[in-house]
Chains A and B, each alone.
Chain A
Amino acid sequence: MSDSIAIELRDVVKRFGDVVAVDHVNLQIRDGEFFSMLGPSGCGKTSTLRMIAGFELPTAGSILIHGREMGLTPPHLRPVNTVFQSYALFPHMTVAQNVAFGLEMRKVPKAEIARQVKEALELVRLSGLEERRPRQLSGGQQQRVALARALVNHPEVLLLDEPLGALDQKLRKEMQLELKSLQARVGITFVFVTHDQEEALTMSDRIAVMNKGKLLQVGTPTEIYERPNCRFVADFIGETNFIDGVVIGRDGNYTVLETPEGLRFRGLATRPLSDGTQVTYSIRPEKVRLLAPNGELPPNGLAGTVMTVNYIGSDTRITVRINDRRTIDIWEQNTRSTLDRDEYWQPGEAAVIVCPPDNALVLSE
């Protein structure tokens, strides 16, 4: 991976009438990286992708591809190709004709087209289906044709608009891994739009999280999951316990907050917060520890009562009530193989939860 920039968005705004779809987005996508844009539907991720492809023009701001200002450049003159959510395969053409289309438009010699089409279909493991029509193919195969049709043109950047959305769960998982390895082999920058956080975590080198047209955070999957910079990102990626409170001071590296009922929690703040700031404390369920009470509360410990215990195979999910209005979710990995559930936590049992401050975050907003 080199450090040159494949795509740069400078203060890009897109309005549709009164609706602001993309709100002052600044973004740099590096050459050769698998970059995902993640967010709920309507967050502006697809609009951003369509502006890069040239299907929409920004209301304000500029888009650069390898340093070249795109301005009003129409889609057919941009050095990018798109894999559409619906695949958008040409129904009146065979698989081979679909894949050859881009090369024909660039007036590549016939013999060369045939060779490259063959190569592209081999790349996506579709050799032998050249003469089929799109509707004679399964969803997964259509998906591969769409990929081959885009990749055969050797675009500077490949744009993928929720390309796995229409596939069933199992095929989707397969294609995720395949796309990832394909990207590594061809070395083309992939910009991948998805609303599926697990998909983004699995595949991406870096992820941009968007909501309501705004770019909230850009980072590696670990950064996004372990160090979300706001409540929305923490909530959207994975699951977490949220506790609202007010900053009351600092304790070494940690920021201390207090809830209305007087509980105190310590965690890492992503930026300096002055006392009195309204904040949200966030701790992932797999990072909370659950202990049997032994008379004395450990540091960062809270006494509670086990409410529910749900065995889901790999994990056991436990809800502990710590006071009248607060519960904490805890996931414990089932590291031992045992059928004897009686030895485990039972509803109604007294327990102590420990929230390690290194694993907890104090988020503003």
Chain B
Amino acid sequence: MIKTAPATTASARIRGAFSEGRLTWSGLALTGFSILVYLFLYAPIVILVLFSFTRDEFGVRWTGFTFDWYIRLFNNPRMMGAAWNTLVVATVSTIVSTIIGTLLAMAMERYRFRGRNAMEGLIYLPIVVPEIVMAVALLAFSAIVFDVIKMVTGETLRRNLTTVTIGHIAFSISFVVVVVRTSLKNFDRRLEEAAADLGADSWQTFWRITFPLILPGIIGGALLAFTLSLDDFIISLFLSGPGTSLLPVEVYNRVRRAVTPEINAISTLMLILSMALVALSQLLQRRR
């Protein structure tokens, strides 16, 4: 009895230490592992941002701080042109895909119609189909459409920003539908009945009740569409014509020649824009 007593108190102490969150081997291991995971995820990004400010021409060594690469970037017409193209394509494709996606989500959530199940499956296909397949399909399709137009009107069309925009709309719609449907599922249909009961016609009911309440979902869908369009590479590469390249494609073309801090700089700016959009969407969701 006397011999076992200290052992009991010792094990009790260990258990106590663990439950009070003090340092233990398992606790240390968990912390260390977590740090490694975050390092793995974020170290490359931190280095990228850091080396957009280095004086070193090849952007691989730290030789002092400078804003030069950003200034040079803003004075580079090719880069600025690509950035502008990207913003235009992202904005237009976001607006169009958000409107179509919202209407589609409403139709699928509200109505029972012939072929609804088939549509259900088809609408999510672009999310799972490999992007390269989608890109090749869109390229082939645009070629056929151009041929038909040439046959009918005699006009020769070439791939340009419009074709890229249409490509982006094509894959963005699915994502918008997914996000908007979630908020429609949480929407209480009785609120619409209440509005109708109080004298609102269906148009007034939509704009006064339904729309404000599913707006966070619509904005979420739009932001997702915007970010997807911003950083899309494969479809942008396939569908853009000569002289109308988008930023990710332009960055890739540069990198093939040499990695310069200028590339780091433009990447940093894209990162900041994406993070700002995510923060904005989080903020809007929380306000509701």
Contacts and interface: CB of A to CB of B under 8 A. Distances in A.
Chain B binds chain A: yes
Nearest to B204: A105
Best-surrounded residue of B191, B198, B199 (most CB of chain A within 10 A): B198
Interface string B198-226: 11110010001100110000000000000
B197 A53 contact: yes
Given A90-B209, A92-B212, A105-B204, A76 B190 contact: no
Contacts of A84: 190, 193-194
B195 interface: yes
Interface residues of B, number: 17
A153 B193 contact: no
Contacts of B197: 53, 55, 75-76, 80-82, 150
B145 interface: no
Contacts, number: 58
Contact of A90 (B194, B199, B201, B204): B194
Best-surrounded residue of B188, B197, B200, B213 (most CB of chain A within 10 A): B197
Contact of B196 (A75, A86, A89, A149): A75
A4 B78 CA distance: 82
Nearest to B215: A92
Interface string A68-109: 000000111100111010101111100000000110011000
A102 B198 contact: yes
**Main SS of the interface on chain B?**
helix
Nearest to B198: A102
Contacts of B191: 88, 90-91
A88 B194 contact: yes
A202 to B, nearest CB: 26
Contact of A88 (B190, B200, B212, B213): B190
Contacts of B209: 90
Contacts of A150: 197-198
B188 A81 contact: no
A76 B196 contact: yes
A105 B200 contact: yes
Contacts of A74: 196, 201
Best-surrounded residue of B194, B199, B204 (most CB of chain A within 10 A): B194
A86 B72 CA distance: 62
B193 A88 contact: yes
Contact of B199 (A76, A91, A92): A76
A80 B199 CA distance: 10
A75 B197 CA distance: 5
A153 B198 contact: yes
B213 A76 contact: no
Contacts of B208: 101
Contact of A75 (B188, B193, B213): B193
A101 B197 CA distance: 11
B198 A105 contact: yes
A92 B213 contact: yes
A102 B193 contact: no
B197 to A, nearest CB: 5
Interface string A51-79: 00111000000000000000000111100
Nearest to A53: B197
A119 B198 CA distance: 18
A92 B191 CA distance: 11
Nearest to A92: B212
A106 B201 CA distance: 11
Interface string A145-166: 0000110010000000000000
Contacts of A53: 197
Nearest to B190: A88
A82 B200 CA distance: 13
A52 to B, nearest CB: 11
Best-surrounded residue of B191, B195, B196, B212 (most CB of chain A within 10 A): B196
Given A76-B201, A101-B195, A106-B199, A91 B190 contact: no
Contacts of A88: 188, 190-191, 193-194
Contacts of B195: 90, 101
B213 A91 contact: yes
A153 B190 contact: no
Contact of B200 (A55, A76, A80, A91): A76
Interface string A261-296: 000000000000000000000000000000000000
B200 A101 contact: yes
A149 B198 contact: yes
Given A90-B209, A92-B213, A102 B190 contact: no
B116 to A, nearest CB: 18
A86 B213 CA distance: 17
B185 to A, nearest CB: 16
Contacts of A105: 198-200, 204
21 contacts: A53-B197, A54-B196, A55-B193, A55-B196, A74-B196, A75-B197, A76-B197, A76-B201, A77-B199, A82-B193, A90-B191, A90-B195, A91-B213, A102-B199, A105-B198, A105-B199, A105-B200, A105-B204, A149-B198, A150-B197, A150-B198
Interface of A: 53-55, 74-77, 80-82, 84, 86, 88-92, 101-102, 105-106, 149-150, 153
Given A76-B200, A102-B199, 10 more contacts: A55-B196, A74-B196, A75-B197, A76-B201, A86-B188, A88-B188, A91-B191, A101-B200, A105-B204, A149-B198
Please provide the 6 A-B residue pairs with the shortest distance between their CB atoms, ordered closest to farther: A105-B199, A102-B198, A88-B194, A75-B196, A88-B190, A82-B197
Interface of B: 188, 190-191, 193-201, 204, 208-209, 212-213
